C-alpha cells in the first residue's frame, strides 16, 4: 500500500515510528508537510499539490494534525477523502474532537462519565457557575490550552472567582470543572485503535503538582485497566468517531471519568511505558481497512 503521513515534522518520534513501522510491513510511506500542501478545490478532479506537482494516489493517510493547525490540516484531510483515500481518522472526527466543548457535550449525551463541568464566556454569576460544579476546589481551564498550560487548580471560592474574572478579562472561553482529588495527581492514557484499547499507561504528576502531563514532569508507568475503564475509553473513541485516539481518564469515586480525547496522540510515552509496537498496530489497522472510499463521509462532513 501507499501511505502518506501528514505531519509538520518528519523527525519527531511518532512520525518516524509510523514511517518505520509501515516500511517494515512492506508499505511505501511518505511524510508530507500538511501546511505545504495546496489544493485546487474548484476542479472536478480533486488533487493535492505539493512542491509544484500533484501528489500521487495514496491508499491511506495518517493525519498527525497539531492543535494549532487544525483548521488547515482538516481541509487537507478532507481533500484526500474526496479523492477516495482512506484516512485513519476522518476530518470531521478530528474537528469534532478538537472542539473541547462540543466533545464534552457529545460525551455527556452518550452518558459517558466525565467530571462535573461548566463552561462559560462571560457569566454574570461566577459564584453560581462554581457552585454548579460542586464548589471549590475547582479546576479552571482555558479552552485553547494544551499540555497543561492554562489549567489551574483553585482551592477556594475566592481564588476561583478571581481566576475566572482574570480569564474573562482576556475574553477567553473557559471551562470550570469539579476537581477529582481522589485521582491523586494521576491520569490514565488509553490508546484506542480500531475500537480496542491496545495500550494504557498511568501518568503520575510530579510532587506538588496536580497536572500529570509528561511535559510538566509527570512520569509514566504500566497500568491494568478495569473492564469499566476499558469500556469508557472505547465508548469515548466511538462517540467521537475516531479510529485511533488517546483517551485520558481520571479515576474518580464515581468510576472512570473522561477528560479529553486526542486525535493525534503521541506514541513515544506510551510505547516506552508499555514496550508495545503501537505504530505497527496502527499500520495493521490501516492495511485491514483502507479500501477505496472507506472513509465514511468522503469529505462531505
Give the residues lining the site for ligand ADP (CB under 6 A): 115, 139, 141, 145-148, 151, 177-180, 183, 187, 205, 210-213, 248, 250, 259-260
Q: How far is the CB of 115 from ligand ADP (least distance, A)?
A: 4
- Which phi and psi (to 5°) does residue 220 adopt? -105, 145
Q: What angle do CA 230, 233, 236 make, to 5 degrees?
A: 145
Q: How far is the CB of 226 from ligand ADP (least distance, A)?
A: 19
Whose Cβ is closer to ligand ADP: residue 115's or residue 256's?
A: 115
The 3-state secondary structure of the chain, one letter per residue: CEEEEECCCCCCHHHHHHHHHHHHCCCEEEEECHHHEECCCCCCCCCCEECCEECCCCCEEEECCCHHHHHHHHHHHHHHHHCCCEECECHHHHHHHHCHHHHHHHHHHCCCCCCCEEEECCCCCHHHHHHHCCCCCEEEEECCCCCCCCEEEECCHHHHHHHHHHHHHCCCCEEEEECCHHHCCEEEEEEEECCEEEEEEEEECCCCCCCCCHHHCCEEEECCCCHHHHHHHHHHHHHHCECEEEEEEEEECCEEEEEEEECCCCCHHHHHHHCCCHHHHHHHHHHHHCCCCCCCCCCCC
Whose Cβ is closer to ligand ADP: residue 90's or residue 187's?
A: 187
Whose Cβ is closer to ligand ADP: residue 69's or residue 75's?
A: 69
Contacts of 36 by beta carbon, 8 Å cutoff, 6+ apart: 50, 51
Q: How far is the CB of 139 from ligand ADP (least distance, A)?
A: 4
The candidate with the shortest Cα–Cα distance to 297, out of 141, 96, 137, is: 96
Q: How far is the CB of 204 from ligand ADP (least distance, A)?
A: 9
Q: How far is the CB of 250 from ligand ADP (least distance, A)?
A: 6
Q: How far is the CB of 275 from ligand ADP (least distance, A)?
A: 22
Q: How far is the CB of 100 from ligand ADP (least distance, A)?
A: 8
Q: How far is the CB of 21 from ligand ADP (least distance, A)?
A: 26
Whose Cβ is closer to ligand ADP: residue 59's or residue 229's?
A: 229
Whose Cβ is closer to ligand ADP: residue 61's or residue 220's?
A: 220
Whose Cβ is closer to ligand ADP: residue 88's or residue 138's?
A: 138
Whose Cβ is closer to ligand ADP: residue 123's or residue 145's?
A: 145
Whose Cβ is closer to ligand ADP: residue 19's or residue 141's?
A: 141
CB atoms within 10 A of CB 163: 18
Amino acid at each position: 500500500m501507499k501511505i502518506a503521513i501528514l505531519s509538520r515534522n518528519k523527525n519527531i518520534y511518532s512520525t518516524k515510528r509510523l514511517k518505520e513501522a509501515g516500511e517494515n510491513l512492506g508499505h511505501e510511506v511518505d511524510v508530507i508537510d500538511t501546511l505545504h500542501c495546496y489544493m485546487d478545490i474548484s476542479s472536478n478532479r480533486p488533487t493535492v499539490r505539493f512542491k509544484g506537482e500533484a501528489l500521487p494516489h495514496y491508499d491511506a493517510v495518517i493525519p498527525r494534525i497539531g492543535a494549532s493547525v487544525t483548521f488547515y490540516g482538516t481541509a487537507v484531510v478532507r481533500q484526500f477523502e474526496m479523492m477516495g483515500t482512506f484516512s485513519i481518522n476522518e476530518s470531521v472526527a478530528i474537528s469534532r474532537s478538537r472542539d473541547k466543548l462540543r466533545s464534552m457535550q457529545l460525551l455527556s449525551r452518550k452518558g459517558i462519565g466525565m467530571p462535573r463541568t461548566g463552561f462559560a464566556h462571560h457569566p454574570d454569576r461566577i459564584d453560581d457557575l462554581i457552585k454548579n460544579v460542586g464548589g471549590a476546589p475547582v479546576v479552571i481551564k482555558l479552552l485553547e490550552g494544551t499540555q497543561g498550560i492554562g489549567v489551574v487548580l483553585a482551592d477556594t471560592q475566592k481564588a476561583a472567582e478571581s481566576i475566572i474574572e482574570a480569564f474573562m478579562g482576556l475574553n477567553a472561553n473557559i471551562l470550570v470543572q469539579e476537581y477529582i482529588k481522589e485521582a491523586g495527581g494521576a491520569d490514565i492514557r488509553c490508546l484506542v485503535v480500531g475500537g480496542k484499547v491496545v495500550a494504557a499507561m498511568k501518568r503520575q504528576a510530579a510532587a506538588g503538582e496536580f497536572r500529570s502531563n509528561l511535559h510538566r514532569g509527570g512520569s509514566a508507568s504500566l497500568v491494568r485497566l478495569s473492564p469499566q475503564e476499558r469500556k469508557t475509553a472505547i465508548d469515548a473513541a466511538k462517540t467521537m468517531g475516531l479510529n485511533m485516539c488517546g483517551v485520558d481518564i481520571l479515576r474518580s469515586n464515581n468510576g472512570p471519568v473522561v477528560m479529553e480525547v486526542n486525535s493525534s496522540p503521541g506514541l513515544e510515552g506510551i510505547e516506552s511505558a508499555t514496550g508495545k509496537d503501537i505504530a505497527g498496530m496502527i499500520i495493521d489497522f490501516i492495511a485491514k481497512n483502507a479500501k477505496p472510499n472507506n472513509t465514511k463521509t468522503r469529505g462531505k462532513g
